[in-house]
Amino acid sequence: MNKYLIIILSAFVMISCSGTVPSIGNETTVQTAEESNEKTQQQEVSVETFTVQEPESPPIPVTVFEPYMIKRGDFLTKIALREYGDASMWRDIYSWNKDEIGENPDRLYPYNFLSLKRESTNARDCDPEFFDYTIQSGDTAWNLAQRVYGDELAWVVIYVDNADLIKSNDGVLQPGTSFKMRKKLDPCS
């Protein structure tokens, strides 16, 4: 019992003396209510925040469509194997180009164009370069394609590159008319 009485008295003494006698190495200050509020406000303002940054994920590759000129003897699985190394990608090529190909994926026409998806870092510059050719008497798109490109079926390219001019002349190649001819038939190859 004496033990408990000593403990209670010691606690009472500590409570009554608390804050009146500084201990060595500590400073005591008496603050008014206004100073206390200012200090609280300063502490709130001076709180530093930081954010934990997640590790950067690799950028998502950007894909672009690149023109592909259909060659003689091409079919979708052959194109998929040559361009992507996977013949089963013919379905993707067909879905990207269904409007151009039509309902039958086996019907491809040489020198028409498909759109193939590539990562932008692997895309090639496929802008064709041209030279001017003046139409001579007796020229047809067929014999002009044979003479310039070595294949009469390349008349399609001549038509695509000069469609406005040909339409304005009712489909007739008028002697003296200047056509744009590609320096390289397939600028992407």
pLDDT at 64: 87
pLDDT reading at 26 higher than 50: no
The reported pLDDT for the residue numbered 73 is 93
Spatial separation of the C-alpha atoms in residues 76 and 115, rounded to whole Å: 12
Domain 63-122 maps to which CATH number in 1.20.1250.20, 3.10.350.10, 3.40.50.2300, 3.50.50.60? 3.10.350.10
Mean pLDDT of the chain: 81
Q: What is the mean pLDDT of residues 25-54?
A: 56
Residue that wins the pLDDT comparison between 79 and 17: 79
Q: Tell me, rounded to whole angstroms, the distance of Cα 158 from its chain centroid.
A: 33
pLDDT of residue 6 exceeding 60: yes
Quote the pLDDT of residue 155.
94
Q: Indicate the range of 26-30, 39-43, 54-58, 114-118 predicted with least confidence.
A: 26-30
Residue 93 has pLDDT above 90, yes or no: yes
Residues of the chain with CATH 3.10.350.10: 63-122, 130-182
C-alpha to C-alpha distance for 79 and 94, rounded to whole angstroms: 11
Structure-token pair, residue 87:
């013949």
Q: Tell me what pLDDT residue 28 has.
A: 47
The answer for residues whose C-beta is within 8 angstroms of residue 117's C-beta and 6 or more apart is 63, 64, 65, 66, 92, 96
User: What mean pLDDT comes out for the span 52-81?
Assistant: 85
* pLDDT score for 189: 76
pLDDT for the residue numbered 23? 46
* Residue 61 structure tokens: 């590759």
CATH number attached to the domain at 130-182: 3.10.350.10
